[in-house]
Amino acid sequence: MTNGTLLSKFYAQFLQNNEAIVKISIDGNKTTHDLNRPFKDNPNKSSFEKIIQNIKNFNLPYEGLAASLVITPSTIDSFLENIKFLREKGFSYIEFYPDMYAFWSKNELKKLKKILKKFSLYYISLFAEHKEELIFKNSLLDSIVNKNEVVGITAECQKIHLASDGHFYFCDKVFSLPKKEREKYIIGNVTQLINNEKRIKLLNQVKEKILKLIKNNCQDCIYREYCFCPVGHYLYFSYKRWDFKKYFICNFCQISKIFLETFWQIKEFLKFNPLFVKIYKY
C-alpha cells in the first residue's frame, strides 16, 4: 500500500519485475481525491497529479497495479464515476472501502446501498457484454468467489504491518492513533525478529473484548466469514472513548452487510459466465 507519490521509474519497474501487487491510495478523479488526501505539511497541495504521473512508470497494463479508494458520505454520488475513471487510468484491481470512522445516517446508508446496486449492474454488464478491456478485479469479490481469505471477527488474521518508523504492528488501523498510543501494539522491528506470540495475544485480547460487547450479534450472520474486521476500529473508538457497541450495530454491521450483499449478488449472477470464471480463476 502506498500513496503513490514516490513511485519513481526505478521503484515501479523493480516492483513490476518482481510481480508485486502495488496498491495505490487514490479516491478517483482530482475533485474527489483532493477532498480526503492532501499533503500533511501542505493541505493546499494535491498528490493527485504526482500519482497519475507515476502510474506511467509501470509498463501498462500491469495486473498487479491496484487502486484503493474510500467511500465517504460526501463522495457516494460520484462513486461510480470514480470507478470508471480509475479503470481508464490502467488499474487492473480496484478496491473500495467505506469510511468506517464516519457516522453514517440512515439516509446515507440508503444512498450507499443504492449506489452499490448501480455498481453491481455496471460490473455485471461488463461481463455480459464481453467488455474485457474495461473489466477490473476486486479482492473482496475474489475472496467470496474463491474462499481464499477468511476475514471478520472470527478470522485468524496473519497480517503484519510495517510503518515508516521501522516497527511492525499487529493491525494497520493503529496508524490512526497518536504515535505514543500505538507503541503498545508494536510486535517487532526491521532489525529484530517479529514477536508472533505477542501479535496473536494482542489480537485475541481485542477480539475477546469485542465479542463480549456485541455478544450474539454475529452468531447467525451468513456473512460472518467475510465481513470487515472490527479490531482496528475498536482500538480507535476505545482511544476516543466513543460507544463502540452502538457504532457496531448502527454503522459497522449495516455497512458490512450492504457491501457483502452486493458482492454476493454479483457472484451469484456471474458464477457461470465464462469470462468471469476465466478472470477470477475458479
d(CA 25, CA 69) in angstroms, rounded, equals 6
Distances 229 to 125, 171, 232, 237 between C-alpha atoms, Å: 30, 10, 7, 14
- Same domain (yes/no): 78, 170: no
Order of strands across the sheet that contains 167-169: 161-162, 167-169, 186-189
**Which one-letter amino acid corresponds to residue 75?**
T
Q: What is the pLDDT of residues 34-64, one digit of tens each?
A: 887 766 666 677 889 999 999 999 999 999 9
Which regions of the chain are under pLDDT 50? none
Task: Give the number of domains in the chain.
Answer: 2
Kind of pairing between the strands at 186-189 and 167-169: antiparallel
Q: Does residue 232 lie in a domain region?
A: yes
List, in sequence order, every residue forming a beta bridge with 148; answer none if it has no partner: none
Residue pair 202/187 in contact by the 8 Å Cβ criterion: yes
DSSP state for residue 134 in the 8-state scheme: G
Residues 95, 2, single domain; the answer is yes
Output the pLDDT for position 119: 98
Question: Would you say residue 235 lies in a domain?
Answer: yes
Residue 87 forms part of a structural domain = yes
Domain boundary among 210, 228, 243: 243
Whether 193 maps to a domain, the answer reads yes
> Given this model, what pLDDT does residue 267 score?
96
pLDDT at position 39 is 67
The number of angstroms, rounded, from the C-alpha of 255 to the middle of its chain's C-alpha atoms is 13
Q: So what's the pLDDT on residue 151?
A: 67
Single-letter code of the amino acid located at 112: L
Q: What is the pLDDT of residue 150?
A: 60
Which range marks the domain in which residue 11 is found? Answer: 1-99
Residue 136: inside a domain, yes or no?
A: no
| Domain end residue (candidates: 64, 80, 99) | 99
The pLDDT value recorded for residue 46 is: 84
Considering the entire predicted model, what is its pTM? 0.86
Please state, in angstroms and as integers, the Cα–Cα distance from residue 255 to each residue in 28, 72, 100, 115, 148, following that order. Answer: 21, 12, 8, 13, 22
